[in-house]
Amino acid sequence: MSIGGVPLRVVSYNVHAQRDDTATLAEVVRAARPDVVIVQEGPRRFRWRARCAALAESFGLVVGAGGLPALGNLILTNLRVRVADTYCERFPLTPGRHLRGAAFAECVVGGARFVVAGSHLATDPTERPGQAELLRKEIESARWPVIVGADLNEGPGGAAWRTIADGLTDTAVAADRADRLTYSCANPSRRIDAIFVDPRITVVDYDVVDTPQTRRASDHFPVLVDLLLPVTD
C-alpha cells in the first residue's frame, strides 16, 4: 500500500472485435502491466465464454465480468484484484441498431473497495443520451468509489459525455492531457474514449498509448491511468 492510497493501474480499450493484429494487441496490453482492463467490443457471440477467457489469457489476466450479458463489454483483472460481485446492464433495443450495454464489477485490492464500470455507447446521437442516463443511474447506485471506462462515441461537450462526467473526475483533464486523441489510430482526430473516476480517487498519471504497435492492434488507442484508491476497510 502506498501512502495516501492503494495504487491501481487501469486500461480502457476498444479492441475492435479483435479484427486487427491480435498478437500485437496482446503485446500492447501485457506491456502496460495493468491491474484492470476495461474492454469494449469484446467477444459477445458464438462461444463467447471461451473467447473471453482466451482474450484474458492472452493479456495475462482473468475474466472479471461481462461478455455476452454486457453485449461485448468486458472487465478483466490480474490476480492482485479480487472480484466480489458482478452485474450487467442492457440498454433498450432500437430497431435496426446494435445492442448496447454495460458491465460492472465490485472489486477489492489491498484495503480498497471500488466498482469498475465499462460501456460502449451508440454511434447514433439520438440514442446516446438515453443510454448515458441509464448508465449514470447504475453508477450512482454503486456502494464504493467508481471507475468508469467507456467508448462514448462522442467527445467532451456532448450530451452523453456530460451526463457520465457530471460529478466525476475526467482523468485526462486531471492530468492536463485532454489534448490526447483516442480515435482513430489511422487518423487521430477525436477524444471519444475516456476514464472517469470518483473524486475520492487520485489521478497519478494518464496516457493515450500511441505507438507503432497500438496503431496495428486496434482502431482505437488504449487509455491508461495510474490511480490511488481511498482505503475503505
Whether 3 has a pLDDT exceeding 90, the answer reads no
Q: Residue 7 pLDDT > 60, yes or no?
A: yes
216: left (phi over 0), alpha (psi -120 to 50) or beta: alpha
pLDDT at 129 over 80: yes
pLDDT at 81 over 50: yes
Residue 143 has pLDDT above 90, yes or no: yes
- pLDDT for 4 equals 72
pLDDT average, residue stretch 41-59: 96
pLDDT attached to residue 1? 44
pLDDT range class, residue 96, cuts 50, 70, 90: low
User: 3-class SS at 231?
Assistant: coil
Asked whether the beta carbons of 118 and 150 are under 8 A apart, the reply is: yes
Cα separation of 56 and 78, whole Å?
9
Percentage of the chain modeled with pLDDT above 90: 93
For residue 80, pLDDT over 60 is answered with yes
Which pLDDT band holds residue 165 (cuts at 50, 70, 90)?
very high
Residue 114 pLDDT:
98
Domains of the chain: 6-229 (3.60.10.10)
Segment 11-35 shows an average pLDDT of 98
| Residue 2 pLDDT greater than 60, yes or no | no
- Name the packing angle between helices 48-59 and 22-32 (round to 10°): 50
* pLDDT tens profile 199-231: 999 999 999 999 999 999 999 999 999 999 999
Mean pLDDT of all residues in the chain?
95
Tell me how far apart the alpha carbons of residues 127 and 135 are, in angstroms, rounded to a whole number: 13
